[in-house]
Amino acid sequence: MESAEAVAKVEEWLRAVHGPDFSAPDGAGLRVDHDKVLRIPEGWLVPYNTIAYLDEGHAEKEIFPPPSVIVREPDGELRQAHPQPGGLSVPVAFPGQENWREVVDPEYAKSGLGHLGVPLQAVAGWVKVGPEGQQTGEERENPEYRAGPIRRGYPKPQNKLETLLSFASVGWLTRELFLIGLLRCEVYVPADAETGKTSRFYFNADRGELKVFSSTRNLPSREHGYWQVDIATLAGYEAPPNLVINGGPATFEDVGGAELAEIAQRFPRREPSVDVTDRCPEAQEDLARIAEDTATRMGLPEPVALPLGAAEKARKRGFELTVEECQKTVLGQSWLRRLKLPEPPPGRPNDLRANGLAPSYDDEGQIVPRLDTFGKYFERDTSGSKFGWQRVTGAYVGFAIGEALGAAVDRMRLDEIHAAYGPDGVTDLQVAYDLPGRIGPLTQRLLFATEAVIRSPHREQPESREAEQALGTVARNALLRWLYTQGAPLENPDGWLVKVPELKVRREADGTSDAALNAMYALATVAPNAVPMSGPEALVSALPAAMTGAGHGSGLSGGSRQAVRSLVGITHPNEVDLEASTYLTWLFEPALTSEAFSYPIWNLTREIFSDANPDQRGPVWAELKKVVADAVPFFGKHGLPDLRIPELVGDGKTTLSVLGRAFAALSGFENYPEQALLRSVNHGGRSALTGAIAGALLGARTGIPGLPQKWVEQLELRYLIENIATDAFWHFDRHSAFGVLGDQWAKRYPRW
């Protein structure tokens, strides 16, 4: 289509709307602004305005903002351009014809990529509107619609380039539109922090290939300097390089230099070019001065080194240290060095976190300062685990947040929740026990169950049948230690966890009534009158059971399923609770992966099932499959996904329905952590436990930095939870703590 044909189509529309004399002075007095007709990615942009303004310069008669109609290619559809850059065009209305308004996926609508047009695959459907723009109630779904990448659980993009990459990956953008969009993006190329030069590892002259990254967060961990350049500048080189774009976990793309150059000729970049070299936050020169000033102030013989190693460990786990975090790392390292001097100051700083430190717990349950790693890396940087440290700690903290969020409304009906907290239900941490953010009995039990798997002798004696069988006894003893913190008798309780004063607090809930505690005590002591329990509390042990298989040779001969039966079977020996806990344990294993990308729950929940597995047969597994089918939408097809409402999944009280409600709350909301957690507690039933499970699965995916930080900050004993999760991670790593620390670790976690 040539520009003249596009102008003719717009004039035909103006004639239909304003009459045959639309350009006459006694008519609408409108005319196309021929001088500003422009080729854009969506087609032809045809502006129009009043003749009085265009020809006679009467500014008071200008239509403002200046209107434009887009003539799409190749179909010739007319669309009203959005007055703001990046906004979405909408179909024009013709007099006498039905008007159907597009319902564009919010991911696309908010992306700022409206200049690329509105792809059909991003249109969820249409609603019919009347002459005055009011909705008539008629709707049509778009069978070509595909759920967006954020809803599907792709890594959430952090910038325009990552947004483009994710949109292209789900089929929202054609290759041409993707390339056009690239011209407005910048990339980062590793460069020496001192010289600004790029090594041959990233530029292959023989192939004309340049490796580029979407952000400094995605740079290789060992790199601390970068060259930032816009892609249009690279396309303008005499020999444009072929780009290998790394957009973060699960997002890669190869782009040829020739195809970029061709697109740049047709759609040149209008924004200012970007071409700079700089240092990453951990290598900034200002940071070296801060280290020197801090050393002088503290009386250190020399300043601490720049936090290059800390930044490398964080990047390996998908995070980047901020400028403030780098400064705090320098301050924290300086404090730790100062405390080791022969004549230390009177005491450690009162505010540990403000000084780059965080609390950890020694073998006596007392707080000792350590370097704050902001939930972004493990200082020891071990690499012999199937799990990622950030995922393990995220799962434990997420569990505690989910329970704390749901504790205030646990077992309430939904109408009661709305009556107490308003039509949206719980929207923040509420007072439960005595303050918002208090950990509950489920988290307490999680900590002691985790202590049990660490104290089990099977890790040091992998070939010993007797050591494996001891896990059940160890788990009983751990349950007795928790019951002791709740007031039950126990002679000579050992280990550090039982010595923490804040854990010796009774957090009463329905599951921790005197009768329930007495029943657990009878089961833990194998009393003759012990009556087996049943119910969703069995699911608490799934996460510790998963930890046993984290390292090579660290698990039981029967795998994590055997660990579940040893941990859960003490109190909940019925098959529904055992098999549901096994399923959740198997779900945690891939969710906690050490790989850069953890697949979303809607995908993993189905991947677990295997008809070839003899342990997945029987009526319980048939019920589990049904629960997943009822609770988890499937995003891998065209058309609108059926997002599930937790309240409509089971009764919210049984083990399987609690699992189903947690899955329903989380599926499709993995990139919306606050919304996912609120969905997991705003329903009738076991809100605290449902929230805990959803929080653990969410935290496994995001790590602590990806959880709602306002709730992380309010969470009681957040660092103790992170501490024991870290201990479990290290214990089951190939380079285990007991192999490094020997007797010192045995003192911290005595056998049995």
Task: Render pLDDT for 13-63 as a digit per residue (tens, 0 to 9).
Answer: 999 999 999 999 888 899 999 999 999 999 999 999 999 999 988 988 999
Whether the Cβ atoms of residue 696 and residue 395 lie closer than 8 Å to each other: yes
Q: Which of 188, 162, 144 is nearest to 249 (CA)?
A: 162
For residue 430, is pLDDT > 80?
yes
C-alpha to C-alpha distance for 560 and 719, rounded to whole angstroms: 27
Which residue do the tokens 């024991």 mark?
724
C-alpha to C-alpha distance for 247 and 169, rounded to whole angstroms: 11
pLDDT category, 330, cuts 50, 70, 90? very high
In 363-506, which ranges are continuous DSSP H helix? 389-407, 414-421, 441-455, 465-485
CA distances, 114 to each of 69, 122, 549 (Å): 14, 12, 48
Joined tokens for residue 597: 């990308």
Bigger pLDDT: 642 or 474?
474
For residue 238, is pLDDT > 80?
yes
Q: Which fold is adopted by the domain 389-748?
A: ADP-ribosylglycohydrolase fold (1.10.4080)
Bridge partners, 248 (sequence order): none
Residues 6+ apart with CB under 8 A from 513: none
For residue 150, is pLDDT > 80?
yes
DSSP 8-state assignment for residue 433: T
pLDDT value at position 735? 86
pLDDT value at position 511? 59
Strand 242-246 and strand 209-213: the pairing is parallel
Percent of the chain with pLDDT over 90: 85
Joined tokens for residue 678: 């609120």
DSSP 8-state assignment for residue 86: T
Joined tokens for residue 298: 């503290």
DSSP 3-state percent helix, strand, coil across the chain (nearest 5):
45, 10, 40
C-alpha to C-alpha distance for 587 and 216, rounded to whole angstroms: 32
How many CA atoms are closer than 13 Å to the CA of 661, on its beta-carbon side?
30
The amino acid at residue 374 is F
Residues 6+ apart with CB under 8 A from 204: 210
H/E segment holding residue 49: strand 43-50
C-alpha to C-alpha distance for 734 and 40, rounded to whole angstroms: 56
Strand 68-72 and strand 78-80: the pairing is antiparallel
For residue 470, is pLDDT > 70?
yes
DSSP-assigned states of every residue in 101-164: EEEE-HHHHTTT-GGG---GGGEEEEEEE-TTS-EEEEEEE-TT----HHHHTPPPP-SHHHHH
Mean pLDDT of the region 99-106:
95
For residue 752, is pLDDT > 80?
no
Q: Give tens-digit pLDDT for 163-192.
A: 999 999 999 999 999 999 999 999 999 999
C-alpha to C-alpha distance for 52 and 300, rounded to whole angstroms: 76
Domain boundaries defined on the chain: 3-144, 151-279, 282-371, 389-748
Joined tokens for residue 158: 């952090």
Q: Which of 75, 170, 72, 55 is nearest to 116 (CA)?
A: 72
pLDDT value at position 142? 95
C-alpha to C-alpha distance for 606 and 70, rounded to whole angstroms: 44
pLDDT value at position 213? 97
DSSP-assigned states of every residue in 192-245: -TTT-PPPTTTEETTTTEEEEESSGGGS-TT--EEEEEEHHHHHTSSSPPEEEE
Count of C-beta atoms within a 10 Å radius of residue 133 = 9
pLDDT value at position 510? 58
Q: Which of 169, 177, 152 is nearest to 245 (CA)?
A: 169
Q: Give tens-digit pLDDT for 265-277.
A: 999 998 999 999 9
C-alpha to C-alpha distance for 195 and 256, rounded to whole angstroms: 28
Mean pLDDT of the region 450-459:
94
Whether the Cβ atoms of residue 86 and residue 108 lie closer than 8 Å to each other: no
The amino acid at residue 501 is P
pLDDT category, 196, cuts 50, 70, 90? confident
Whether the Cβ atoms of residue 333 and residue 369 lie closer than 8 Å to each other: no
Bigger pLDDT: 111 or 512?
111
Backbone φ/ψ region at 462: left (φ over 0), alpha (ψ -120 to 50), beta: alpha
Residues 6+ apart with CB under 8 A from 16: 94, 95
Joined tokens for residue 592: 């906690």
Q: Give tens-digit pLDDT for 536-567.
A: 999 999 999 999 999 887 889 999 999 999 99
Whether the Cβ atoms of residue 211 and residue 202 lie closer than 8 Å to each other: yes
CA distances, 409 to each of 465, 476, 481, 510 (Å): 44, 30, 28, 12
pLDDT value at position 134? 86
Count of C-beta atoms within a 10 Å radius of residue 146 = 24
pLDDT category, 675, cuts 50, 70, 90? very high
* Strand runs labelled E in 205-356: 209-213, 225-230, 242-246, 252-255, 275-279
C-alpha to C-alpha distance for 377 and 282, rounded to whole angstroms: 14
Which residue do the tokens 């069988």 mark?
469
DSSP 8-state assignment for residue 385: B
- Cα distance from N-terminal residue to C-terminal residue, the chain: 80
User: Could you check whether the bond before residue 633 is cis, i.e. omega within 30 degrees of 0?
Assistant: no
C-alpha to C-alpha distance for 699 and 330, rounded to whole angstroms: 28
Whether the Cβ atoms of residue 649 and residue 679 lie closer than 8 Å to each other: no
H/E segment holding residue 328: helix 323-339
For residue 301, is pLDDT > 80?
yes
For residue 346, is pLDDT > 80?
no
Joined tokens for residue 527: 């009393």
pLDDT category, 637, cuts 50, 70, 90? confident
pLDDT category, 532, cuts 50, 70, 90? very high
Q: Which of 490, 458, 487, 468 is nearest to 477 (CA)?
A: 490
